[in-house]
Structure 1
Amino acid sequence: MALPVLFPFRSRDTARVSHRRFPHGRRRVTIDHEPLAGVTPSELMDWFGSIGQTMEYGGEVVPRYLAWHPLDHVRWELARPAPGGGAAEGARFRIVEQFAGRPDHRIDVVDRVEKLDETGIRLVQRVAGIVVLQLEHTWSAGRDRTHYVSVLDLGARSPWLSGVNRLLQRRFPDPMVDAWITHNIEEVGLLEHLIPRLRPARTDSPSAARQAG
């Protein structure tokens, strides 16, 4: 389903991006986003916890995940519900995306949600119980805005898994990681436009009062 782009994408220069390389081929990308105006941490938690639902977008009812990035998002599935049900801590998300809309930048992964609360979400992949890929978004409230930081860790810390890290470097080469950075800045910025559309209409507004009268 190809959706129109209704809201402007943020540009790369709106965020502070840092890259670090560690022993055994491990990499880390940190994106310190421009704060989200008019969005609260609890709304961000609700967004991720209900990402499998639909919303009104461009006069149609569409999957929220596709509206979140109309050009790059392909599919989202709840591969396994959380122990208490739904898209909460302990669930597994299947995520299909292609960064910059390029087939050679396509991912199709299943991540375990190891954290989801009002401070952020952490998505993890493990090999033999050891973390080899982790994406963590953290949020903190400011005055009428929320500070949002994304950290992508690629590779295991253990020297015994340096071979896995080499495979990850081939699977996620630097040009693909760079395309993901742009993608992440764009999708985080769109939350400023999408989340307010999910709020219930106020019944104490002047227009609502006129309709009631």
Structure 2
Amino acid sequence: MAKEIWNPKGREALRKERLLARKVLKAIDKVDFKPETSAKWTNITKHWNGALRVQIQHQDMVGVSPKMLKWWFENLGQKTTWNGIDFSGEEVSFYHLWHHRDHISVTPLTQPQNGINRGFAVGAYSKIHEQFNDYNEVINNTMLTTVLDETEFSFLIKVGSLTVGRINHYYEPTETGSTFYAETYLGVDIPIIGWFINWIILPMFFSKTTAMHWIRHNIEETGQTDKILLIIQFL
């Protein structure tokens, strides 16, 4: 369920959920995020049509298999009673464990033709709601998952029926775990009107500065994935 963070009750509920996630992470000494320098490389490109492409080749995930990553994204909207020691604690969301400072909620909106949407599922819509606290920037977008398997997790960013961008994650096994690459493309690929949106409207919501903030956020959340998956161990 999406958090109504613009009213006092919603803000207080979110604060408690974030503090609970932080408490769990502190119990396993995993509160600190990885620095931006942990990534192998990053890049921001402004295309001729005004679109922005943001690329991150993350540090390899040790001990995390592509199968585990697929499961993680499929269940990102779930909660656990894991308290850092056992499963007798209060319910805490996977999404807050993933990034206790910035994340607000991930909400399944529709169900796929086959199966259940517990976070993301191919052919289903989900809403991502997060806030880059240091910069007061809010992401509150609807996503349509197009691929989710043991090699790739990709979705389109939708505004109504209009596709305004896409995010692709690619991973493959290594001797010790998995590689992980993330790419965000923000832009409308429609002649003339797309150029106007990309050059005039897009910078109001997602600029190169926003892209730099997103790089930091993505490195921080991705760096938490192996910490959580390797300890929960109930795949």
TM-score normalised by the chain length of structure 2: 0.79
C-alpha separation in 2, matches of 1:57 and 1:134: 34
Letter in 2 for 1:157: D
C-alpha separation in 2, matches of 1:199 and 1:188: 17
Which portions of structure 1, spanning 4 or more consecutive aligned residues, are displaced by more than 4 angstroms? 126-130
Q: Superposed, which structure 2 residues align to 1:173-212 within 5 Å?
A: 173-200=207-234
Shift of 1:25: 0.5
Larger Rg belongs to: 1
Q: Superposed, which structure 2 residues align to 1:140-151 within 5 Å?
A: 140-151=172-183
Residue number in structure 2 paired with 1:94:
127
Contact 1:49 1:86 in 2 (8 A): no
Letter in 2 for 1:153: Y
Residue number in structure 1 paired with 2:13:
none
1:74 maps onto 2:104 in alignment: yes
Q: Superposed, which structure 2 residues align to 1:84-163 within 5 Å?
A: 84-87=114-117, 88-99=121-132, 101-102=133-134, 104-126=136-158, 131-160=163-192, 161-163=194-196
Larger deviation, residues 48-57 vs 180-189: 48-57
Q: Kindly tell me: are residues 200 and 171 of structure 1, through their superposed partners in 2, closer, same or farther at Cα, counting changes over 3 Å? A: closer
Q: Which runs of 5+ in 2 are unaligned?
A: 1-16
C-alpha separation in 2, matches of 1:103 and 1:78: 27
Letter in 1 for 2:172: S
> How many residues align structurally?
200
Larger deviation, residues 125-134 vs 50-59: 125-134
C-alpha separation in 2, matches of 1:52 and 1:199: 17
C-alpha separation in 2, matches of 1:109 and 1:102: 20
C-alpha separation in 2, matches of 1:20 and 1:175: 12
Larger deviation, residues 164-173 vs 177-186: 164-173
C-alpha separation in 2, matches of 1:132 and 1:108: 13
Contact 1:120 1:136 in 2 (8 A): yes
- Report % sequence identity: 28
Please identify which structure carries the higher strand content: 1
Residue number in structure 2 paired with 1:12:
36
Pairing partner for 1:42 from 54, 59, 67: 67
Shift of 1:62: 0.5
Shift of 1:163: 2.0
Q: Superposed, which structure 2 residues align to 1:53-64 within 5 Å?
A: 53-55=78-80, 56-58=82-84, 59-64=89-94
Contact 2:142 2:159 in 1 (8 A): no
Pairing partner for 1:2 from 18, 24, 36: 18
Q: Superposed, which structure 2 residues align to 1:25-36 within 5 Å?
A: 25-36=50-61
Letter in 1 for 2:195: S
TM-score normalised by the chain length of structure 1: 0.87
Q: Which runs of 5+ in 1 are unaligned?
A: 202-213
Letter in 2 for 1:14: S
Shift of 1:126: 4.4
Q: Kindly tell me: are residues 83 and 103 of structure 1, through their superposed partners in 2, closer, same or farther at Cα, counting changes over 3 Å? A: farther
Contact 1:140 1:147 in 2 (8 A): yes
Shift of 1:118: 0.4
Letter in 2 for 1:181: I
